[in-house]
Amino acid sequence: MTIGLHHFISLAVVLFAVGFFGVLMRRNTLIIYMCLELMLVASTLALVAFSRYNGSPEGNIFVFFILTVAAAEVAVGLAIIVALFRRRKTVQVGELNALKN
Amino acid sequence: MPANFLFYALSTVTLAAALGVVLNKNAVASALSFFVCLCGVAALFVMLDAYLPAFLLILVYAGAVVALFLFIIMLLDMGGGDRKPLKKTTAAAALITAALLAAGVVSVLSRGKFSTEPPVPIPAGSLFTDLKLYGAKLFTTYMLPVQLVGFLLLIAMLGVIVLSKKQGEDKKP
């Protein structure tokens, strides 16, 4: 049995689900952010697999743009987390309840 | 077949590392698991003949992003990760939701018809193998997105500078 498209797509789906699980379960903002990145990488893997198996290289170019946007997103997100830590002295989502009530 | 073995080995390593990111108590260990996971995904990219994305993934993600995460973990001094232990119900609910998500996507995908054939061999001088063609395409067909992404990076840089400035710094002489 050769490795087909569905192998790669299944792996991407499971990877995405693992990242989603982490986002729901963890309470540390940094770990949640890492899991978000994991979901993004999983979607990238699906895109590359579709691109290869359809023989159209456009997907690879999309991956290039996704990586660039993800890099910008990580920089801004981590700066927000650091600013939050300076102000509230915590990064646990349970304690960040200023909007509650 | 060696390609089969390679795929299964790489996907096992990647998934184990992804679970390591989620389940590790220590934030630094999570970041290092993330690094291993990214290396696994990059190797899978190489299996899919996407050499440039694999290289960029290692360079941008495994190089810059993981280093940034490690810096922030050290800066915030939270090697311990979560302070309070997790509630069992929270973990169970998260697991069930993630499983439902995966089942939903799989059920949608299984309606479609995936060819189980090996991919068509790449013709020589295709975008997959030729970096020159890749660059030419980026600067002709995808010129506008390249410009927009450049602006986006500039704006992100400015945003990070503004965000990480100390509060009330302007008032001091």
Q: What pLDDT is attached to residue B117?
A: 66
Are residues B73 and B129 located together in one domain of the fold? no
If one compares A28 and B113, the residue with the highest pLDDT of the two is A28
Asked if the structure places residue B6 within a domain, the reply is: yes
Whether residue B3 is predicted with pLDDT greater than 90 in this model: the reply is no
Report, as an integer, the average pLDDT of A22-49: 92
Verify that B1 and B53 share a domain, yes or no. yes
Q: How far apart are CA B96 and CA A20, in angstroms?
A: 11
Task: Give the nearest partner residue to B72 out of A73, A82, A86, using CB atoms.
Answer: A82
Q: Do A20 and B97 touch (CB under 8 A)?
A: yes
Cβ of A13 and B109 within 8 Å? yes
Cα separation, B83 vs A85, whole angstroms: 15
Contact A63 B53 (CB under 8 A): yes
CA distance A28 to chain B (A): 6
Q: Least CB-CB distance to A20: which of B81, B84, B98?
A: B98
Residue B138's domain comprises 125-166
Shortest alpha-carbon distance between residue B75 and chain A (Å): 8
Q: Which of residues 69-88 of A touch B (CB under 8 A)?
A: 69-76, 78-83, 85-87
Q: Which value does ipTM take for this structure?
A: 0.92
> Which of A41, A79, A92 has the CB atom closest to B163's CB atom?
A79
Is B76 in the same domain as B133? Answer: no
Regarding whether B72 and B1 lie in a shared domain, the answer is: yes
Does residue B43 fall inside a structural domain?
Answer: yes
- Is A31–B21 a contact, with Cβ atoms under 8 angstroms apart? yes
pLDDT band at B85 (very low <50, low <70, confident <90, very high): low
* A101 Cα to chain B: minimum distance (Å): 22
Residue B156 within any structural domain of the chain: yes
- Mean pLDDT over A66-88 rounds to 90
pLDDT score, position B168 = 60
How would residue A95 be classed by pLDDT, with cut points 50, 70 and 90? confident
Long-range contacts of B152-161 (CB under 8 A, 24+ apart): B152/A68, B152/A69, B152/A72, B153/A68, B153/A71, B153/A72, B155/A72, B156/A72, B156/A73, B156/A75, B156/A76, B157/A75, B159/A76, B159/A79, B160/A75, B160/A76, B160/A79
Burial of residue B108, with CB atoms counted within 10 A of its CB: 0-12 exposed, 13-18 middle, 19 or more buried: exposed
The whole-number pLDDT of residue A78 equals 92
Q: Last residue of some domain: B63, B82, B101?
A: B82
Res. B130: pLDDT tops 80: no
Q: What is the mean pLDDT of residues B42-60?
A: 91
- How many residues does this entry show for chain A? 101
Total count of domains within chain B: 2
Task: Provide CB contacts within 8 A for B122, sequence distance 6+.
Answer: A55, B49, B128, B129
Which of B82, B112, B134 marks a domain boundary? B82
Same domain (yes/no): B75, B129: no
CATH of the domain at B64: 1.20.120.1200
Class in CATH terms, A5-95? mainly alpha
For residues B5 and B77, membership in a common domain is answered with yes
A82 is written with which tokens?
Answer: 């650091």
pLDDT band of A40, cuts 50, 70, 90: very high
Report, as an integer, the average pLDDT of B53-71: 91
- DSSP state for residue B127 in the 8-state scheme: T
Put simply, whether A97 touches B (Cβ < 8 Å) is no
Q: Is B112 inside a domain boundary?
A: no
- Window A:11-70, CB contacts with B under 8 Å: 11, 13-22, 24-28, 30-31, 33-35, 37-38, 41, 44-45, 48-49, 51-53, 55, 57, 60-61, 63-65, 67-70
User: What mean pLDDT value characterizes chain B?
Assistant: 84
| Residues B78, B9 share a domain | yes
Determine, yes or no, domain membership for B33: yes
Indicate the residue of B34, B99, B160 with minimum beta-carbon distance to A75: B160
- For residue B22, tell me if it sits in a domain: yes
Q: Is residue B49 part of a domain?
A: yes
Which domain-ending residue is among B82, B101, B116? B82
Tokens of B33: 């698991």
Q: Write the burial class of residue B35 (CB in 10 Å: 0-12 exposed, 13-18 middle, 19+ buried).
A: buried
For an interface test with B, the pick among A33, A38, A86 (most B C-beta atoms closer than 10 Å) comes out as: A38
CB B115 within 8 A of CB A53: yes
Per-residue confidence (pLDDT) for residue B20, from 0 to 100:
93
How large is the average pLDDT for residues B131-150? Answer: 90
Examine residue B93 and state whether it is found in any structural domain, yes or no. no
pLDDT at B84: 66
**Residue the block writes with tokens 């002295």:** A89
B contact test, residue of A9, A23, A24, A86 with most B CBs within 10 A: A24
